[in-house]
Chain A
């Protein structure tokens, strides 16, 4: 059970959220680190342009993904694609521990 999710609910505004097993599950099913890095770079540029925090920018993506059904099923958890890309795009050293 990915108990860290209990911790991250609602917390993506503050810090990287998804626990490592879900990132690993994403990569194991063919998720692309390159695409994740591109997403992160794009989100950084956009947040800088708009003058908002990066995590706020990602939270907007996440809300839109849930709205449109752009979600993934990782180890049973329903997650927004943008939050997976965001966390996967971070330097592995920064990603949360399992």
Chain B
């Protein structure tokens, strides 16, 4: 069922077996595992079913670290899956390992612990193909570039056939029809109330922006509020533990990571058509789209003490291309030519007939492939793993939000290891493309500047602030995502990642959530 706290009498207490705080990818995934079961579940959502500016404003934060371009977290039913582009990939085996050259690296679990949940996670994300990286080329019927595996390896990212899965709309009906899972909209968790010894959470205080207050009493509680808010809620829950719940070791909010993102190099292909065809989006017969890029090999990471890093190649189309002109003339392009442009576009088609013919042939001989257009330029765009750093953190700011709760203060810090890693990847790409004689590579100037902190784009993947560890001296949650020292409090989402890898985190979030749901189910 779907209820709204605004319509409930203030002071209401909701009793349940499991309280899930946050209805994004993690929270909805966990809640769905209990649909139709014997256990009662309350799924709290701060917002409504659609975007509301006043709720979104609760995410406003104070930034004291590296510049952040914009905040792309979304605070309504479905969370940030309401806007994500749906790109998914699994972490590599090396991402889970303790690496002597990466401080604080090493998960207390490995990829094998997540594999039992891989099929279900792919399905939950709407993905049609679940296969290992080295099996995907065969599934697609393609031959990969002959990269030197000691330096580089191919890397696929996958998109769902129907486009990005919006978890809110996709699962609204089944949650609304449920008799044991109650979604409570406009219910902001303001504080987790712990027993006097701090060993259990006995209830969750909730409140609407309009002042309706209540609480949820649950046997088990799971925080699923995202990489910044998970830490914030724990820090705000300080009625028993002055430094916040689970924060005895001053680790909550620390180790904030994102995927620093930046264009690293210009690529000059020998044959633009070959290059665009190879590093392209492939369509599997299921409709899945798989995007091919490259990543650093584990051997090179170890040899040069690098982080993990991947790259995609993007071509900026030459606007005078005959193919683009033809698409405009046929009304197949987003931009329809003005009448004054018609003659010019006809001329462009006529003067670029070789490319037009190539694409017409592709249309009939390779219908799943995109058109290829002479590029004005081709760039290499990289996402790099961020080295865990204690001083990169989320803490509480002095000013307060509309619920009178202290806002998050974000101090995002990046070391030089990330720049060095991106440079090594660009050099490896340059050497490999040179060896294969398929392209030349020019590194961007910023990669050479060793004495300055580069300006990165954040990928909006907030991770690490309640990191998973083998013991409470090293992290906030156990290998089962239980907050150390608090018997019934769990955390789901990318805030538990001890290290980030370089790939988009959602698929891993969903795998971890399914694993956690199985654990919670066994406990209830």
In terms of DSSP, what is the predominant structure of the interface of chain B? mixed
A73-B427 in contact (CB<8A): yes
Q: B434 contacts the other chain (Cβ, under 8 Å)?
A: yes
Minimum-distance CB pairs A-B, first 8: A78-B430, A66-B435, A66-B434, A10-B270, A9-B270, A76-B442, A76-B443, A66-B431
Q: Which residues of A contact B (CB under 8 A)?
A: 1-2, 5-6, 8-10, 62-63, 66-67, 69, 71, 73, 75-80
Give B197 Cβ to nearest chain A Cβ, in Å: 59
Q: How far is the CA of A66 from the CA of B151 in the complex (A)?
A: 11
Are A2 and B434 closer than 8 Å at their CB atoms? Answer: no
- Write out, one digit per residue, whether chain B residues 435-455 have a CB within 8 A of any chain A CB (1) or not (0): 101011111110010000000
Among the listed B270, B431, B448, which residue makes an inter-chain contact with A78, where contact means beta carbons less than 8 Å apart?
A: B431
Within the assembled complex, what's the spacing in Å between the Cα atoms of A67 and B152? Answer: 12
Cα distance A5–B434 in the bound complex, in angstroms: 12
**Bound CA span A90–B445, Å:** 29
**B-side contacts of A67, CB under 8 Å:** 148, 431, 435
Contact B445 A76 (CB under 8 A): yes
Number of A-B residue pairs, CB cutoff 8 Å, is 56
Of chain B, the residue at the smallest CB distance from A73 is B443
Once the chains are docked, how many angstroms separate the CA of A19 from the CA of B182? 69
Residue of B nearest to A69 (CB): B431
Query: What total of chain B residues lie within 8 Å of the partner, measured CB to CB?
Result: 21
What A residues does B148 contact at CB under 8 A?
A: 67
Identify the closest chain A residue to B445 (Cβ).
Answer: A76
Q: Which residue of B lies closest to A80 (CB)?
A: B434
**Complex CA distance for A80 and B434, rounded to whole angstroms:** 8
Closest chain A CB from B426 CB (angstroms): 8
- A62 with B434, Cβ < 8 A, contacts A73-B443, A76-B442, A77-B442 known: yes
Residue in chain A with minimal CB distance to B271: A10
Interface of chain B residues 411 through 443 with chain A (CB within 8 A): 426-427, 430-432, 434-435, 437, 439-443
B268–A78 touching, CB < 8 Å: no
- B439 and A9 contacting across the interface, CB-CB below 8 Å: yes
